[in-house]
Amino acid sequence: MKPAEATNEVGVVVLNYNCHDFLETCIQSVLDQTYKGIAIWIVDNGSTDDSVELVRNRFADLPLIEIKANRGFAAMNIGTKAALQNGCKYVFYLDSDAKLEPEAVERLVGHLERQGNCGIVGPQQFRYPGGKPYFIGGCVDVRTAWATWVGTASGPTDFDFVGNALVRREVLEQIEFDEQFFTYYA
């Protein structure tokens, strides 16, 4: 995989904060994707561990965006802008403690390509090691902010938020992560 360039269809934004122990596995899982045409941006949210040094030493050819202070999930906006400026058709948001299966991006892009009215997709998530289902998404009651988890469906499931999501460029040109929300997004 090459550093970020305009020919890439998918921009993967890895958001990191003090996740040294998982970060290398996360980045390597992106590099090992079967889908070609991926660019990666690592956004470091002011880590105080050795995360930045790990990226500089092990993945020196990948763009590293260092933020002095932890801006929470809204720091994804910085990586989003980089991906969109480089012509990416999709942006994949990935937490630094996640590990992708080799076909993950290919399957998610395929779903968006087949479902023209779908703007965001996310993978089913499993705990590792062990492989037990962890997260598939859920629905939030906006009046109470109470979340209901969808469960462990084995196929596509409609819900109103996802973790580790692939988003169409057209969606991102209209919205961004609200920087008033530190931990979650809106």
Same domain, 149 and 58: no
Question: What is the average pLDDT value for the chain, to the nearest integer?
Answer: 79
Residue 2 covered by a domain? no
Q: Is residue 62 part of a domain?
A: yes
- DSSP secondary structure string, the chain? -PSS-TT-SEEEEEEESS-HHHHHHHHHHHHT-SSS-EEEEEEEES--SSHHHHHHHH-TTS-EEEESS--GGGGHHHHHHHHHHTT-SEEEEEETT----TTHHHHHHHHHHH-TT--EE---EE-TTT--EEE--EEEETTTTEEEE----SS----SB-SS-EEEHHHHTT----TT-SSS--
Q: How far apart are CA 126 and CA 20, in angstroms?
A: 20
Claim to verify: residue 72 and residue 134 sit in the same structural domain:
no
Write out pLDDT tens, residues 139-151. Answer: 545 455 554 544 5
Same-domain pairing of 29 and 90: yes
Same domain for 60 and 108?
yes
Which one is predicted more confidently, 5 or 15?
15
Do residues 31 and 115 share a domain?
yes
Q: How many domains does the chain have?
A: 2
Q: What integer is the mean pLDDT of 102-126?
A: 83
* Structural domain containing residue 140: 124-154
The torsion defined by the Cα of 46, 47, 48 and 54, in degrees rounded to 10, comes to -130
Q: Is residue 138 part of a domain?
A: yes
Q: Is pLDDT above 70 for 99?
A: yes
Q: What is the pLDDT of residue 4?
A: 45
- Whether residue 5 is contained in a domain is answered as no
- Quote the CA–CA distance of 71 and 65 in Å, as a whole number: 13
Whether residues 100 and 129 share a domain: the answer is: no
Determine the pLDDT at residue 138: 52
63 inside domain: yes
Percent of the chain with pLDDT over 70: 68
Question: What is the per-residue pLDDT for 5?
Answer: 46
Contacts for 119 with CB less than 8 Å, ≥ 6 apart? 167, 168, 170, 171
Dihedral of CA atoms 65, 71, 77, 78 in degrees, nearest 10, equals: -20
57 belongs to a structural domain: yes
More confident residue, 177 or 112: 112
